[in-house]
Structure 1
Amino acid sequence: MSESYLLALDQGTSSSRAVLFDVRGVPVTSAQVSLAIQYPSDGWVEQDAAAIWQSQLEAMALLEQRLSPEQRQAVRACGITNQRETTTLWRRSTGEAFGPSLVWQDRRTASICAGWRSEPDAESWQRQTGLVLDPYFSASKIAWMLEAHPEARQALAADDLCFGTIDSWLLWHLSGRTRHATDISNASRTLLLDLEKLCWLPDVIERVGLTAAALPELLPTRSAFAVIAEGLPFAGTPITAMLGDQQAASYGQFCFEPGQAKCTYGTGAFLVVNGGLRPQRAAGGLLSTVGWSNTDGSTTYCIEGSLFNAGTVIQWLRDGLGIIRESSEVDALASRVESAGELMLVPAFTGWGSPHWDPNARGLLIGMTRDTAAPQIARAALEGIALAVTGLLRGAAEALGAPLNTIAVDGGAAASAVLLQAQADSAGVQVVRPANLESTALGVALMAGEGAGVLSDLGPIATAIRASSTQVSPQRDASERERWCRRWDQAVDRCLHWHGDGPL
């Protein structure tokens, strides 16, 4: 058993990674390839679909080169985790993508969603899917792409069109263009899936302009998805798990019981709370979503809150303002001051997700004085991410009817001590950070190991990882915390409806 390894393919918004774990959940080695993002217009976010696949392929090849022949032969299973909602249309016969992929952050379809929200069955649609009619999800992206690319409509008429989120796009290539499938966690982010029946919604499929033939096959999160095709790195390895990145991070943080919560601070920040074996109809702008399918055939559901910009805020400090040279320098800069004072940075660069769902919101830096300088801005940026997540935590606690006292965290920005202290202080919760922040890759690797029969009991792995975690406790008192959060709510209110025809 000690000679077995698990491969995780982690395709994110800013990079593609391949990570090798042993069966104790310990990372052995990894490879990462950066991925470009295009912003052709305000609110438009897109990526080249071929570049997504090539970056993942390159990461796999780099990783395979670092392994000994014995290690390569001992790779028992592969899992795929991915940026969710990002939408691709391609020609089945050739693999040619129709235009760029529309990234989950893309807001160009706001008018389509506004039209859908005005229709009589809008509430029923939202209830069936557990989501809101927002550009974040795949449905409106599909409708826009079919309108923008006549050749895609022609392919659709000829039954030569495939739709997929990134998991489907990767699987199609990894299988040698023989398997067009998705898992229920990614499908639950499209606005096309019935959350309770776990099947596609025919009327919605017709509304967005697709046909059933263009849809991927719908499979549980643990399945015999495919075998990596000959001629590719890790050829012959079975793909036994697929999981959206936020669900994979929850699994990698061992949030297996109702009420257990994690937040991943990646490109965005995403709070996911285990809601049990039935869909939780979350109110207050939070989402109901599929977590994963269990080994007994049941399904775990989650409540989710989504902040579209987190790590991108730190990148903006680096690339936009130039006040840091590397993202890792943000803590040192922010620590030059004990407080940001009245300065607040609302990170609504590409609109606001939970709970407002306002595609016309925009980022806001408010409270500047003549003394405002780079350290205050850096601290306000980190505090703004934490305060936004605190709003999600409060909404989730209200939906569950019980307080959330502990939150597990991961993702690149979770390396920031300033951010985590601000999270504990603003939410009044214990923040737990594992020594290894690769919870997303770990989660899908462990699930792949289960799917392949290599792993059966994750308890010892969870115990070992939790024993090495760092815990951050609140330092602000309750009255100070409430004042801080009220001030934050005022700042958020000022960023809403800024872009387009919204009220000023």
Structure 2
Amino acid sequence: WEQVESLYPCPGWVELDPEVLWSQFVGVTKEAVQAAGLHMRQIAGLGISTQRATFITWHKRTGKPFHNFISWQDLRSAELVNSWNKSFLLKVIHVIFTVLHFLTRNDRYLAASFLTFSTHQTSMKLSWVFKNIHEAEEAAKRNNCCFGTVDTWLLYRLTKGSVYATDYSNASATGIFDPFMKCWNSGLCYLLSIPMSIYPPVKDTSFNFGSADSEIFGVTVPIMAMVADQQAAVFGECCFHPGDVKVTMGTGGFWNVNTGEHAFASQTDLYPLIGWKIGKEFVYLAEGCMTDIGTAIKWAQDINLFTSVDETEKMAQSVADSQGVCFVPGFQVSLNDPYLGACFTGLKPSTTRNHLVRAILESVAFRNKQLYDIIVKNVRIPLQTIRADGGVSNNSFVMQMTSDLINKKIEKPANADMSSLGAAFLAGLASGMYTLK
């Protein structure tokens, strides 16, 4: 594996270099096959699991990007988000859809009646692009602008521009795709002045998307699945039944509940997603998230609270408690306020690094408890198995404290990277290696 470095060109902005990402993707794929003692010609199918809601736009004819990837953690749209959420127009929209829901009892209208924007959604950042990047705006007017999340960009590059598509899981995570109607949301795009011509076709998650050009890997390799990382982890954890829960603790923290064949409409901090589409089967998820688990831990390492992440568990366990120190996470996007910063409270002369580290880890467990309570209160499906993955799930202190707080058993696989496994499972289904989940 190889870490893709984030770029921070301005305060609050988070970007990825598309050429660096592409180069690392190709390199890591080749290395993984070689490390497995295989040759590319032996690969039956490639499954691609990618970070969600990070996007790029490029010129349809030349393939040249108009900007770097804009990360899901990016805050450049904060002013737009704040303005829209306070706007009279949004209040009118809420009233209209509240009435429609009352008359029809259609959950799609319930979801719209509580519509709010946030900085981690693609919609507002994409609106920012067309307001601030003239080349993208002009290309869109001439139907020459392509939009894509990471999966779409990789597919486009792998096929030398011959295939332009995404899947339902990635599309539904943008905040621009209507999971109830299963299409790009034209009404939202009209409100935000985003042209509908820019979006890729949406395909099944487990699907033959075409083949990687032979110049890239030496042979043509079928691309048999594309899936967003969190949905891939749900599939990799085999959370196939309504009520099954997947908890990922990595860069961010994500609780996903399988809600079966019905999209979930919430009045709270949960939102509906399409988990995957295989043939005629649509599986939906309800998701709650916390955005900066990994960011907080990486920051603590950068300021030398510890040398290795592996030390944090013992450091937290070396003290009886945090001595009243609390860590309030908020490096990227807080639950309610994108301008809120992180902080420690309760510091004393006796506070040590161990207390600070324990407070950071406790904040992860407390946020897990908060999301769990929201899910229990709002998702009207009995929760079944809870399974955890992601790098932070290797920390026994966080896992045990979370389990104690929610009073539930949490299962953890030996391999914490379940997104890759989920993508492999989905590719195997499409290539005929498996016939049933």
Among 86, 108, 122, which residue is 2:76 paired with? 108
CA displacement 1:143-197 (0-9 Å, x = unmatched): 1112221111122222221111111111111111111111111111222212112
User: Equivalent residue for 1:482?
Assistant: none
Deviations 1:210-266 (A, max 9, x none): 333321111121222121112112742211211110111111111111111011111
Match of 1:349 among 321, 331, 352: 331
Q: Look up the SS of the partner of 1:76 in the other structure.
A: coil
Which residue is 1:63 aligned to? 32
What is the aligned counterpart of 2:118 among 127, 134, 140?
Answer: 134
Query: Partner letter of residue 42 of structure 1?
Result: P
**Equivalent residue letter for 1:40:** P
Asked if 1:42 corresponds to 2:24, the answer is: no
Question: Hey, what does 1:426 align to over in structure 2?
Answer: 405
Give, as a single letter, the amino acid of the residue that structure 2 aligns with 1:325: T
Relative to structure 2, which stretch is displaced further, 282-291 or 375-384?
282-291
Q: What is the rounded CA distance, in whole Å, between the counterparts of 1:342 and 1:68 in structure 2?
A: 52
Q: 1:166 aligned to 147, 150, 169, which one?
A: 150
In 2, Cα distance between equivalents of 1:404 and 1:430: 12
Residues 243/200 of structure 1: CA separation in 2 closer, same or farther (3 Å cut): same
Residue 413 (structure 1) aligned to one of 385, 392, 396: 392
Gaps of 5+ in 1: 1-31, 459-504
Stretch deviating more after TM superposition (235-244 or 113-122) = 113-122
Aligned pair 1:202/2:171, yes or no?
no
Please list, as runs of the form range in 1=range in 2, the aligned pairs for 1:380-395 lying within 5 A after superposition: 380-395=359-374
Q: Tell me the equivalent position of 1:260.
A: 244
1:167-316 equivalence runs, <5 A: 167-233=151-217, 235-295=219-279, 297-316=280-299
Hey, what's the Cα distance between the residues in 2 that align with 1:234 and 1:273? 40
- Give, in angstroms, the shift of residue 42 of structure 1: 3.4
Higher strand share: 1
- The structural deviation recorded for 1:68 is 4.0
CA shift in 2, pair 1:80/1:380, >3 Å: same
What SS does the corresponding residue of 1:96 show, helix, strand or coil? coil
Q: How many residues align?
A: 421
One-letter amino acid matched to 1:49: P
Matched-pair contact (CA < 8 Å) for 1:131–1:289:
no
**In structure 2, how many angstroms separate the alpha carbons of the residues matched to 1:130 and 1:258?**
24
Q: Which residue of 1 aligns with 2:51?
A: 83
User: Secondary structure, in 3 states, of the residue corresponding to 1:225?
Assistant: coil
Question: What's the offset of the Cα at 1:131?
Answer: 6.7
Contact conserved, 2:321 with 2:355, CA < 8 A, in 1? Answer: yes
- Using the size of structure 2 for normalisation, the TM-score is 0.91
Contact 1:405 1:430 in 2 (8 A): no
Residue segments in structure 2 that go unaligned for 5+ positions in a row = 98-108
- The answer for the alignment partner of 1:29 in structure 2 is none
Q: Is the 8 A contact 1:130 1:288 kept in 2?
A: no
Q: Deviations over 1:340-391 (max 9, x none)?
A: 13211122111214xxx32122212112111111111111111101111111
| Structure 1 pair 58–427 and aligned structure 2 pair: CA distance change class (3 A) | same
Q: Give the alignment's TM-score, normalised by structure 1.
A: 0.79
For residue 65 of structure 2, what is the aligned residue in structure 1?
97
CA contact (8 A) 2:41 2:221 kept: no
Q: Higher helix proportion, which one?
A: 2
Higher mean C-alpha deviation, range 216-225 or range 326-335: 326-335
CA contact (8 A) 1:393 1:404 kept: no
- TM-fit CA distance, 1:138: 0.7
More displaced 10-residue stretch of structure 1: 371-380 or 58-67: 58-67
